[in-house]
Structure 1
Amino acid sequence: MAVTFEPLSERHLSSVWHIEKLAHTHPWAKKSIYDLGNRFQCHHVMLLDGQVVGYFYAQNVVGEVSLLNIAVSPEYQGQRLGFQLAEFFCAYCQSQQAESIWLEVRESNYRAIKLYHKLGFSDVDTRPHYYPVAGGREDAVIMSYYLAD
């Protein structure tokens, strides 16, 4: 099975939207998924034998990259594809001469936090009551990774 990555384009959007609804308890609005008009965007898809199985949405503003959304299709989770996607994301940021990467992750998403730590991210702070959950809200862990000194 061949894993490849390419910039997200209109032809990927229906697959990304399908994964978004399956992978997140509170998915982005369809309008947000389909909005490819931001000049700072650096969104990519992960393909497995040509099929979209994951993606990330990110912005690079003057060397500071914000990871906005990342997901792997639930049917492909547990196969290290999430790690490959996140690793590609970091390498891509480095190739674009980014200085730092920032992200927020649900405090209950232990697997993602562990993955980000493994890639070199550090906890910076928390954003109280950031994410919606059934019956309330949950904190976000703010994480960063510095690529350049």
Structure 2
Amino acid sequence: MNISIIPMSSDHLDQIYQIECRAHSFPWKASIIRALDSRGACHHTLLIDGRVGGYFYAQNIVGEVSLLNIAVDPVHQGKGIGRQLLTFFLDFCEQHAVESVWLEVRASNLPAYQLYLNAGFNEVDHRFGYYPTENGREDAIIMSYFL
């Protein structure tokens, strides 16, 4: 399996949107996925044997990066690819003199929460009722990482 991580391009967006719909119960709209030129954008695509296997959307505003969205194609989950993508992201932040990284994760997404903890993120706070669910809303856990 040949893995590379490169800056996101419009060539990736159809595959990214397909993964977004498979990986998230409440996916981003296609219009948001296609917005590559937002302020401070530093989005990347993980390729597995030349095909999109994962991605992250991040925004760097004056040295503070928000990890807005990260996903691995469900067919590749559980193989350490998410960890590789997150490690790349944190290395990217370090190379760009980022001071802090922030993210929110669903309280029910224990594998992602544990991945972030293991990478050195700290739980900071909660946003109550932040994410939609099938039966209402669920909390977001706010996490930070300081470089």
TM-score range, shorter chain: over 0.9
SS in 1 for 2:140: strand
Distance 1:3 1:37 in 2: 25
SS in 2 for 1:75: helix
Query: What is the TM-score normalised by the length of structure 2?
Result: 0.98
Matched AA of 2:76: Y
State, as a whole percentage, how many aligned pairs show the same letter. 53
* Structure 1 spans left out of the alignment, 5+ residues: none
In structure 2, what is the equivalent of residue 114 of structure 1? Answer: 114
SS in 2 for 1:88: helix
Query: What is the TM-score normalised by the length of structure 1?
Result: 0.97
* Structure 2 spans left out of the alignment, 5+ residues: none
Give the superposed CA RMSD: 0.6
In structure 2, what is the equivalent of residue 133 of structure 1? Answer: 133
In structure 1, what is the equivalent of residue 60 of structure 2? Answer: 60
In structure 2, what is the equivalent of residue 145 of structure 1? Answer: 145
Q: Matched residue pairs, number?
A: 147
1:23 aligns with 2:23: yes
SS in 1 for 2:65: strand
Runs (4+) of structure 1 exceeding 2 A deviation are none
SS in 2 for 1:67: strand
In structure 2, what is the equivalent of residue 105 of structure 1? Answer: 105
Summarize the alignment of residues 1-80 of structure 1 with structure 2, pairs less than 5 Å apart. Answer: 1-80=1-80
